[in-house]
Structure 1
Amino acid sequence: MESAIDFDAEAKLHLEDHVTTEQFVTMVIRSCKGNIEPTRGCWSSGYMDYALYKGIIEDYDLTNISKPIERRSAARIVHEALLTEFGEKDEYEWSAAEKLRDLYSCHTCVMHIAQVYVKGIMLGRDHYMFDAAGSLTRAEAAAVVVRMLDREQRIPQTGGREFQSKNLSPDEARELMLTDHTAMLVDVRTNEDYETGHLQESICIPLHHISNNPYSVCVRKDIPLILYCQRGYKSSVAAQALIDAGYRRVYTIPGIEQYPYDLIATT
């Protein structure tokens, strides 16, 4: 059978060979679902179709199926598999990942990299670099899958970097806004999300606007900027962009999924 030949060839790969997207997705899905028969001519089609159906991969992954998988893509796939296949919740405290200098190099990858890093499933190339665009060897990919499956094999990461935005509790943020009337409460989600429900007195400046031009938020760099989003990832990315731009009083508060706020819908 063609599939048997392909699987035999896969098994004979050298440990230092780079793993393709096709091979990595197969390793992840087969580890939790067992053997899946091909749905089309390609031996991996059953695994790829299942991963696509469950939202573990995206359509664009299929265009890179035979290319070496990037570490940021592997992080995304593992994170999505943890959520959908194992029902494993995200770590609320993920500041340890903020010491990675390239954590924010891909805005859509932040939460995926942060979660697999702090959980100890995928470690950095060193203490300060994840190597988001780097590749995975077969040995590294196998270690990632083992840690995904077995919590005892994980190496959890703790301790955030020194230079980061300050996290405030909702009460602390409220007190700051009462004592400093120049303070701005900023929702960095999309305009559509903002209209669905937002915090009173907040304004919407989407993350992509802040990333493209952080100086557009306000002229003065000593004004308190209090950021929030859905789960804390976008606000952290926005905060770092503002800090890098020279804003000195940047704060984040828990996302609206992390605290029982009273939300206001735009009518």
Structure 2
Amino acid sequence: MEFLQQNWYWAALAAASGSWLMVELIRGRGDKSQISPVEATLLINREDAIVIDVREQGEYAQGHVPNARHIPMGDISRRSAEMEKWKNHPLILCCASGARSAAAGAQLRKAGFEKIYNLRGGMAEWEKAGQPISRKRK
């Protein structure tokens, strides 16, 4: 008890950081659309998921998920009719960090797509996980 009285600031810091981690854990569990690179690979292999890369052409050319279709973020709404044939397939959206692909996912959900997943952390996380990178155009 004396230790806590003398080091109250460390105890408060530990309690605050622990609370923050719990909030993030609970928040992350509620959003099933955010998937890790490993979960994405399983979805591709088991359910024939289609990967859509929403980055710009230059970013896509530097490296992307193998067999990913390239539909830049700015073209998502315009090309949603072209994507209609994939409406019943799981779609994994990816970008550099996961932010643009999350916004693209929201657009596709509004267009009636239901099986939308966002690659959490984007290509940065994909590469960090040691997943394969392709430079072929699809």
Matches of 2:110 and 2:84, distance apart in 1:
15
Q: Which has the larger radius of gyration?
A: 1
User: Could you tell me which amino acid in structure 2 is paired with residue 258 of structure 1?
Assistant: E
Does 1:257 pair with 2:124? yes
The correspondence of residues 168-247 of structure 1 with structure 2, limited to 5 A, is 168-181=35-48, 183-247=49-113
Does 1:167 pair with 2:34? yes
Matches of 2:86 and 2:65, distance apart in 1:
23
| TM superposition shift of 1:220 | 4.2
**Runs of 5+ consecutive residues of structure 1 not aligned to the other structure:** 1-155
The correspondence of residues 53-202 of structure 1 with structure 2, limited to 5 A, is 159=27, 166-181=33-48, 183-202=49-68
- TM-score norm. by structure 1 comes to 0.37
Q: Counterpart in 2 of 1:16?
A: none
CA contact 1:214–1:241 (8 Å) conserved in 2: no
**SS in structure 2 opposite 1:217?**
helix
| TM superposition shift of 1:166 | 0.5
Aligned residue pairs total: 109
User: What's the CA shift string for 1:144-200, capped at 9, x where partnerless?
Assistant: xxxxxxxxxxxx99748x7x670111111111111223x211111112211111111
The higher-RCO structure (CA 8 Å, 6+ apart) is 2
CA contact 2:37–2:125 (8 Å) conserved in 1: no
**SS in structure 2 opposite 1:252?**
strand
- TM-score norm. by structure 2 comes to 0.67
Q: Following superposition, which runs of at least 4 residues in structure 1 exceed 3 angstroms of deviation?
A: 156-160
**SS in structure 2 opposite 1:248?**
coil
Bigger share in helix: 2
**Runs of 5+ consecutive residues of structure 2 not aligned to the other structure:** 1-19
Bigger share in strand: 2
- Percent identity over the alignment? 28
| TM superposition shift of 1:266 | 3.7
Distance 1:192 1:165, change over 3 A: farther
| TM superposition shift of 1:216 | 2.4
Matches of 1:197 and 1:173, distance apart in 2:
17
